[in-house]
Amino acid sequence: MSILEVHGLDVRHGLLPAVRDVSFELAESETLALVGANGAGKTTLLRALAGAHRPAGGRIVFDGRDITRLWAHRRVALGVALVPEGRRLFPSMTVEENLKVAAGAGRKGPWNVRAVLDAFPILAPLLHRRAGALSGGEQQATAIGRALMTNPRLLLLDEVSLGLAPVAVEGVYRSLTSLIESGATIVLVEQDLARAMNVATRVACMLEGRIVLEGLRGDLTREQVTTAYFGLARA
């Protein structure tokens, strides 16, 4: 059974179409990698799923409930959590404080500070350090941990590796792989095709606001995804 259904979604920035007639489904415990070049509509789609950007048309159904018009905080209470591009931590607060502030969503579940530290051991010695003093990789781990503290059923991750040093990317993806293996349901926006295809169950490639290729990772070749990524099939 699908935990997430998207039907004919249209999202605009003013009069400019950013997401056009997008439809897909995601089953529980699947990881969908959304790939595509800058400006393809990936972040806008993710923000629409999280309730941070109102769609102009279409429907979003989460766990059998139409959430298209629900505000973002109501979606968090239902189990939808977004890790936005740029992380957006509270820089003057400690790592522990950033984690605990998310627990106010009030959902019951396995995620607490100790569980986050088990998933992201890099954070254990940093609990009392201000988030603004962390490295990029440490901030990304904190941001993902903060989202997990809401005990989500669907985790939306935007540009996990953006701006990080290679060693930091390796660390974040090690922890992300553990989350996936534990059965988390994830939509991951990623420009690194190799990493996206390594961790995803399904891959969807966006071009000019549309999904132009979608399928199980094992059914798609790197060449097919690359062709769709750059729109070469139109040539």
pLDDT for res 61: 98
pTM summary value: 0.91
How high is the pLDDT of residue 89? 93
The helix-helix angle for 136-148 and 166-181 (nearest 10°) equals: 20
Give the residue among 23, 73, 21, 24 at the shortest CA–CA distance from 52.
Answer: 73
* pLDDT given for residue 234 in this prediction: 52
CB-CB neighbours of 224 under 10 Å: 15
* 84, two tokens: 């936005």
pLDDT of residue 232: 75
List of domains in the chain:
2-234 (3.40.50.300)
Tens digit of pLDDT for each residue in 55-78? 999 999 999 999 999 999 999 999
Q: If we measure between CA atoms, which residue out of 37, 63, 46, 4 comes closest to residue 157?
A: 46
From the first residue on, what is the mean pLDDT of each consecutive set of 10 residues in the chain (235 residues)? 95 96 97 94 97 97 97 94 88 96 81 93 95 92 93 93 84 88 92 88 96 95 91 62
